Amino acid sequence: MGNYKCCFCFTRRFTSSSAEPPADVKNTFAVYAEDGVAMSPEQLRRFLADRQGELATAADAADRIIERIREMRHRHHPMKFSRPQLSVDEFFHYLFSGELNPAIRSQVHQDMTAPLSHYFIYTSHNSYLKGNQLSSDSSDVPIIKALQRGVRVIELDMWPNSKKDDIDIVHGRTLTSPVPLIKCLRSIKEHAFTASPYPVVITLEDHLTSDLQAKVAEVALMVTQTFGDMLYYPKSESMEELPSPEALTRRIILSTKPPKEYLEAKSQKVKETGSQKRKETVEEDSWGKEVTDFTDELHYDNKDEQDQDDEDGDDDGGADDDDSKFGQSAAPEYKKLITLRAGKPKGRLVHALRGDPDKVRRLSLSEQQLEKLAASHGTEIVRFTQKNMLRIYPKGTRVTSSNYNPMLGWMHGAQMVALNMQGYGRSLWLMQGFYRANGGCGYVKKPGFLMKGEPYGEVFDPKRILPVKKILKVKVYLGDGWLKDFKGTYFDNYSPPDFYARVGIAGVPADCIMKKTKIIEDEWAPVWDEEFVFTLTVPELALLRVEVHEYDMSDKDDFGGQTCLPVLELRSGIRCLPLCDRKGTQYNSVRLLMGFSFSSESGAPYY
């Protein structure tokens, strides 16, 4: 404990002591350790099997864990150990290690041999923008950062340059600066498989005028020369089924609609975004808006659906899926390179959900279009996504690069739910957490109920309230690491912080809930020791949300860290949860010690 004099006769008191093992850890150690003093490899193995659910852990593996934790614990004071054993402090150090005792697995463990349409795919929107949608710079830097995070779908908007004689990658009709297409392609090639070996999809959005359509041949040449054998494209012009992520390992594929004369009449939408800027900014707080459970969207008044269907987004709006027009206006070589063909038919959007039994196609909807279709055609959306690809993108009024709740798209089977990766906020935290599943490879296998009919031949209905399938118990023991990662005066000038945690579930509306621990005053290493119980009707889509805040009596509470994790990826037992900053980057030291256990509702059918 240190006392530091400062002006106005205040005395700052900051404790530098680390967290102590909680009672559950001490009691557990006493049960398994020899005479309650030291834990041998065999005793550690029994603990891992009995309490952590790691049944396959062998005694020699436990021996290596003990050696590793003692090396880490005593790295500054090397010494030889006569017997490989753990003390209670070393046991606690092991449990509180994000490296040795993570809450989720870090390996790819799902079947990767199904068609692409069977997977949710980590998708970015306007991937080249460094900031807001109106005036920020376009660059390859955010593309590189997205790929390093595991994003698998990169969007590039092709627009005429200022002289109308060449093509730029830029957010058209805004003040954003352009970036050369070739620079983006080369950066994608260099960084595509840094975080994952599975395929990268490039969504090329064509906003070219008729006199620049000839440039499409140059785009085709640029793409083929840049990627070479990395580029995959189908031998035939239409596919009844898409290849699998495994078959496309370390390959690049294109997803786009036929080049066409850009519809100038659709330009009004960008002009409308300016008036929304102030409203949206006001709605954002320090952590981004609290995500909604989208119950209202599922019961949206759909009487104006015809008008909404005509809305032009930044993607397919108003485009005819007409291959004959494609052939007239673009080089056949470019057409051949497209794996995921995009576009939508004339008429109402619901007609596009009928699909084509002879070929796979990609449909794009704005978040608003999805809301309206979900209100009355939810099962048709699910049926469409069982074979075809559905992409959801943010509405044009999100000029600050804010985001929407991605869960509505996922629960309808949409594979490519695109979010703005430039900012931060709770919606983006959900996206980051969702794709921590399956080893963070950017592809998450869709649950079976979204891929096939129910026992009675019915397609999954996202609006249907289902019985409870699983019960998740979460115990929040304690937290530590803020004093290492933050300045001593960051939260409060004159005393240690007053931390509390918010713990909850994001998922289908019936499962969404947030709960809160008590506030622990004046502690850098708060001990909450509180348990929460969550009932889950669709655990396959549920995310565990964890946030830490510092209570401020006179102002907004301060941000202390967050993380989101897929519920079904959680490992039972006592686990370490490293926390992340607002943008999703993991802190060096801030972490929580938490406990997880699952039980099922006895005899409760899922459907």
Evaluate whether 184 touches 176 at the Cβ level (below 8 Å).
Answer: no
Backbone angles phi, psi at 73, to 5 degrees: -70, -35
Classify residue 95 as exposed, middle or buried by CB count within 10 Å of its CB (0-12, 13-18, 19+): buried
Catalytic residue among 171, 377, 412, 549: 171
pLDDT for res 171:
93
Which residues lie closer than 8 Å to 316 by C-beta, 6 or more apart?
257, 342, 343, 344, 363, 364
Residues 86-118 pLDDT 10s: 999 999 999 999 999 999 999 999 999 999 999
125 a catalytic residue: yes
Q: Which two tokens stand for residue 436?
A: 């921590």
* Separation CA 258–CA 414 (nearest Å): 22
pTM here?
A: 0.89
pLDDT for res 303:
44
Evaluate whether 215 touches 167 at the Cβ level (below 8 Å).
Answer: yes
- Domains along the sequence of the chain with CATH: 1-96 (1.10.238), 116-259+331-447 (3.20.20.190), 464-606 (2.60.40.150)
Catalytic residue among 125, 377, 412, 549: 125
3-state helix, strand, coil in the chain (%, to 5): 30, 25, 45
Amino acid at 363: L
191 a catalytic residue: no
502 membership: H or E segment, kind and range: strand 499-506
**Integer distance in angstroms from the first to the last C-alpha of the chain?**
58
Buried b (16+ CB within 10 A) or exposed e, 475-489: bbbbbbbbbeebebe
Task: Please tell me whether residue 523 adopts helix, strand or coil conformation.
Answer: coil
Q: List the one residue out of 95, 98, 99, 90 whose CA is nearest residue 51.
A: 95
Residues of the chain with pLDDT under 70: 1-17, 75-82, 213, 258-287, 292-293, 296-297, 299-332, 343-346, 453-457, 602-607
Amino acid at 436: R
Amino acid at 461: D
| Number of residues assigned to the chain | 607
pLDDT for res 341:
87
pLDDT for res 160:
84
pLDDT for res 228:
96
Q: Which two tokens stand for residue 359?
A: 């070929």
Task: Please tell me whether residue 106 adopts helix, strand or coil conformation.
Answer: coil
* Separation CA 496–CA 523 (nearest Å): 6
pLDDT for res 259:
53
Classify residue 117 as exposed, middle or buried by CB count within 10 Å of its CB (0-12, 13-18, 19+): buried
pLDDT for res 268:
38
- The strand pairing partners of 201, in sequence order, are 153, 253
* Cβ neighbours of 141 (radius 10 Å): 13
Residues 574-602 pLDDT 10s: 999 999 999 999 999 999 999 999 998 75
Q: List the one residue out of 404, 543, 539, 531 whose CA is nearest residue 476.
A: 531
